[in-house]
Amino acid sequence: MDKIILGIESSCDDTSAAIIKDGYMLSNIIANQKVHEAYGGVVPELASRAHQQNIIPVVDQAIKAAGVNKDKISGIAFTRGPGLLGSLLVGNSFAKGFALVNEIPLIEVNHLQAHVLAHFIKEKDKEIKHPKFPFLCLLVSGGHSQIIKVNDYFDMEIIGQTIDDAAGEAFDKCAKTIGLPYPGGPLIDKYAKAGNPTTFTFTRPKVKGYDYSFSGLKTAFLYFIRDRVKENPRFIKENRDDLCASIQFTIIDILLKKLKLAIKETGINEIAVAGGVSANSGLRNTLFEYGRNQNLNVYFPEFKFTTDNAAMIFKLNILFHNNC
Ligand code: KG4
Ligand code: ZN
């Protein structure tokens, strides 16, 4: 019998549903919530209300796009956490109701594990190149910055993590400081392409081991902009691209310094990146180049699987990966 899994992701501000059949992704629908743009960050109450509105149409679209019969779904996987409580509750309640009515198993999935396992999503007629165990995964999203030693699909060890803000949060907050809407990460990436990364320099945090810190950088950037704008009210407008390139360069430098240390000390040469910030073109280019120079195998998920999506919420489907 076919194994058809419906995946649900609602941990933050994206409502997503995916259908995976016998280990292959057939559909992956994501509804972004534009409502947060004006606030410079996700407003939890608005996020959970938007999830409530989106969840049924998104699931419906995912089932239709996959061309499967709803009654043939054999299990439902959903994001258990971590994430915003109200947002998680919507996906969780929907999944429980769906499982109960259809008398199918309910599979809970850890959101961070799911980002790492996004490297193993399979699509028909597409060859995937995924990391081999054990590998190091730099997991960088809006809520997390971690270096994970991945020994097997469900055997992961966090060896370093941020002690305050996440890398994605640093992108978003610095973007907000220069008047860009949420989420600012993709916009910083876009404008950085036309800027000079060495125009402005910002101090790097001093944190032990493989841990990260981004809150100091965020504050330093805020004061720097405040002082420059006092001298020249047009400072941001005149320097937007260089500001974006410089802050992006600094965040990448901080991320890679600790990753390089972990590579050196563990001797692992399979390196993966996951989470929303893995969409960043500067991070991709810099790490691929480092990998080429150091004989490392570097893996980034396909662009559409970098930010939150339900295709990565597919724990059970790992069972179909026997031939990987
Ligand atoms: O993984 P994700 O969708 O949600 C969380 O689990 O947090 O990550 C969202 C984060 C946001 O902070 C967003 O600004 C950042 O990923 N992001 C980027 C880029 N695309 C998304 N940051 C830098 N460059 C990008 N191209
Ligand atoms: Zn995420």
| 3-state helix/strand/coil string of the chain | CCCEEEEEECCCCEEEEEEEECCEEEEEEEEECHHHHHHCCCCHHHHHHHHHHHHHHHHHHHHHHHCCCHHHCCEEEEEEECCCHHHHHHHHHHHHHHHHHHCCCEEEEEHHHHHHHHHHCECCCCCCCCCCCCEEEEEECCCCEEEEEEEECCEEEEEEEECCCCHHHHHHHHHHHCCCCCCCHHHHHHHHCCCCCCCCCCCCCCCCCCCECCHHHHHHHHHHHHHHHHHCCCHHHHHHHHHHHHHHHHHHHHHHHHHHHHHHHHCCCEEEEECHHHHCHHHHHHHHHHHHHHCCEEECCCHHHCCCCCCCCCHHHHHHHHHC
Pull the structure tokens for residue 285: 């280019």
Given the CA of residue 11, which atom of ligand 1 is nearest to it?
6
Q: What is the pLDDT of residues 242-290, one digit of tens each?
A: 999 999 999 999 999 999 999 999 999 999 999 999 999 999 999 999 9
| Segments of the chain scoring below 50 in pLDDT | 319-324
From the centroid of its chain, how far is CA 118? 10
Report the alpha-carbon distance of residue 146 to residue 162 in Å, rounded.
Answer: 7
Q: Is 12 in the pocket of ligand 1 (CB under 6 A)?
A: yes
Q: Is 5 in the pocket of ligand 1 (CB under 6 A)?
A: no
In a mutational test of the pocket of ligand 1, which residue from 189, 307, 312, 313 has the highest number of ligand atoms less than 8 Å from its CB? 307
Nearest CA to ligand 1 atom 16: 276
Q: Is 308 in the pocket of ligand 1 (CB under 6 A)?
A: yes
CB 77 within 8 A of CB 7: yes
Largest CA distance in the chain: 70
Q: How far is the CA of 196 from the centre of ligand 2 (A)?
A: 29
Q: What is the pLDDT of residues 11-45, one digit of tens each?
A: 999 999 999 999 899 999 999 988 888 887 899 99
Given the CA of residue 183, which atom of ligand 1 is nearest to it?
14
Q: How far is the CA of 203 from the centre of ligand 1 (A)?
A: 23
Q: How far is the CA of 10 from the centre of ligand 2 (A)?
A: 10
Q: Is 9 in the pocket of ligand 1 (CB under 6 A)?
A: no
Report the alpha-carbon distance of residue 197 to residue 249 in Å, rounded.
Answer: 6
Nearest ligand to the C-alpha atom of residue 42? 1
pTM of the model: 0.94
Q: What pLDDT does residue 324 have?
A: 31
Nearest ligand to the C-alpha atom of residue 192? 1
Q: What pLDDT does residue 221 have?
A: 98
Q: Is 301 in the pocket of ligand 1 (CB under 6 A)?
A: no
For ligand 2, a single-atom ion, which residues have Cβ within 5 Å? 141, 308
Q: What pLDDT does residue 2 have?
A: 80
Query: Cα-flanking dihedrals φ and ψ of residue 76, to 5°?
Result: -125, 125
Nearest CA to ligand 1 atom 1: 276
Report the alpha-carbon distance of residue 5 to residue 187 in Å, rounded.
Answer: 34
Nearest ligand to the C-alpha atom of residue 111? 2
Q: What pLDDT does residue 314 have?
A: 78
Ordered structural domains, the chain, with CATH: 4-128+306-322 (3.30.420.40), 135-301 (3.30.420.40)
Q: How far is the CA of 1 from the centre of ligand 1 (A)?
A: 38
Q: Is 189 in the pocket of ligand 1 (CB under 6 A)?
A: yes
Q: How far is the CA of 140 from the centre of ligand 2 (A)?
A: 9
